[in-house]
Structure 1
Amino acid sequence: MMRKNIINFLSLLLLISMLFTECNAETLNLKEGFNFVAFNVKPSVSPSQVLSQNISIDDIYAYNASAGSFISASEGALTLLNYDKGYIVKTKTSTDVIITGEVMVSNEPAIPIKTGFNLVGISRTPVLSKFSDLLNKYCQIIGMYKWNAASGTFIQVLKNNTGEIELLDGVDPALASGQAYFINASEDFE
C-alpha cells in the first residue's frame, strides 16, 4: 500500500512538472546558403535530428571561441543546441524549419565573451540594440559583424586605433531576436 502511494505521489509530481514546463515552437525562415540563427526556445531536438528531419539543411555549425574553430553537426562534434548560442545553418534551398522546445522565461541571459571572435545568439532583443551602442558600452568589444546573405559578406562595425567607432559599410545594424552575430573582443568579459 505504501509503495502504491509513493508511486501515485511521484506520478502526480511528474504531471505537475509537465504542466509547468511550457513548450513552444518557433519557425526558422532559412534562405539558401548560410543563415546566422539563434533560438528563442531551448530546443528539444539535437542537431543530428534537425539534419535528418530537414533534407534542405546541409549542416549546422557552432563556433568554439576557445579553440578558434567551427564544430559541425554532420561531423558529430555539435551534439547540443542551446537558446543562448549562435549557430550557422547552411541550406541547399530556402526552407522553413520548426523547432520545438521549452520557453525560457528568465531575463536576458549574460553572454560570456572570450578573447577573439565569438558567435553569439540573441534570444531576446536587448535594450542596447545597435552595434555602436554595444561598442560604446563595452570597451572590450573591438568589432561586431552581421552576415549579409544578399552580398555574401559581413557588415562590419569596428573601433579604430583611437577608440572611435567606424561603420565600415555605412550601416549600424541592430541586434534582432533569433539572429546570431560575431563579436571580436580584446579580452574575456560577460
Structure 2
Amino acid sequence: MAKLYFRYGAMGSSKSAQALITKFNYEEKDMQVWLMKPAVDTRDGEGVVKSRIGLEAPAYVVTADVDLFALFQKGEREKQFYDVIIADEAQFFQPEQIDQLRDIVDTYNVPVFCYGLRTDFRTKLFPGSARLLEIADSITELKTVCSCGSKAIVNARLDGEGHVITEGEQVMLGGNESYEPMCYKCWKKALEKEKEA
C-alpha cells in the first residue's frame, strides 16, 4: 500500500536534495515522477527545485487555488500516469491540498513524499506542516546541527545585521543570509541577548 510521507527538518537539513535524490531513484527504475512545489517559493526561480549542493530539476508550480486531486484525475484521463509524487517546500501548501494528496494516495495507491519545514522562525507550525503531522502515514525528521553541535530544530530568522528576530510575516523567503538553524537552547539565548541589548 502506498503512503503519505512527511520528511521535515530545519533549514540546512538537505530536504530539497533528498527530494531530488528520491526523484532520481524512481526515475532510474523507469517510473514517472510528478515533482511539484508551491508558487510562493520563488527563491531559486519559478518552476525549479534546487538544492544548496547544486542539484536541480524542473517542477510543477502549485498555486494556492489548485485542486491537486482533480488535477491528478485529469492527468489520468489524459493518459498522463505518475508512479510517485514528490512535493518540495510542503509547508507552504494549503491544508486542503495536503488532504488532496492524501486522497491521491488512498484512491490511486500512489506514494506521495512531502519535504518541508515543520515550524517557522517563531517555532510555530506552518498550516501545511500541521496537516501533514495530522494525517501522514510516515513522519521522518531530517537532521542538521546548530553551531554548538546540538541538533537544530529552530529556523532562526536574522535581520540585516545578523540579529535573531521574532517579528514579521510567517513567510519570508531567504537562505543563509536570512536564516540560521539553531538548537532551542541557543535560540533562546540569542533572544535573551537581543532583549538585553
Shorter-chain TM-score: which interval?
A: under 0.3
TM-score by length of 2: 0.26
1 or 2, which has the higher strand percentage? Answer: 1
1 or 2, which has the higher helix percentage? Answer: 2
Larger Rg: 1
TM-score by length of 1: 0.27
